[in-house]
A = this chain, B = another copy of it.
């Protein structure tokens, strides 16, 4: 679970240097498994961790395919760890994001694929992002 050597490999593959700050951020994502906003991450990191550094780490991770942005209707941007086959050129995120109305957490359902969408004539398809809202497994079982 998120060892230092894992982090090193992830960063090297992305062409990024291994720094203490980046390792810490990666740790957060491998421990928590939900999509996280910058505020969420700041709560977990040591309080002296620089806000702007975190901001830039998130963007560079996104750019190199380590993280992907998660759609959200709340206004704040959230990120989640990319599954296996993401590269800088081609992200593979055709999976569903699930937002629980009870615990408010957003998680990736990697196993649920987004069905084919039939667009009207004239429209060209590039990518689809699907957010499902409801009650997650955890919350529905603890009743």
Contacts and interface: CB of A to CB of B under 8 A. Distances in A.
Contact of A112 (B101, B118, B134, B137): B118
Contact of A126 (B73, B121, B126, B135): B135
Contacts of A121: 137
Q: Quickly give the copy total for this chain.
A: 2
A123 B121 CA distance: 35
A42 to B, nearest CB: 17
Given A117-B96, A123-B137, A71 B112 contact: no
A75 interface: yes
Interface string A88-106: 0000000010100100000
A130 B117 CA distance: 10
Interface string A9-46: 00000000000000000000000000000000000000
Contacts of A141: 122
Interface in A99-138: 101, 109, 111-112, 114-137
A126 B112 contact: no
Given A71-B71, A126-B133, A129-B132, 20 more contacts: A69-B73, A71-B73, A73-B129, A75-B75, A109-B119, A112-B118, A117-B130, A119-B134, A121-B137, A122-B136, A122-B141, A124-B134, A124-B135, A125-B132, A125-B134, A127-B132, A128-B130, A128-B133, A129-B131, A129-B133
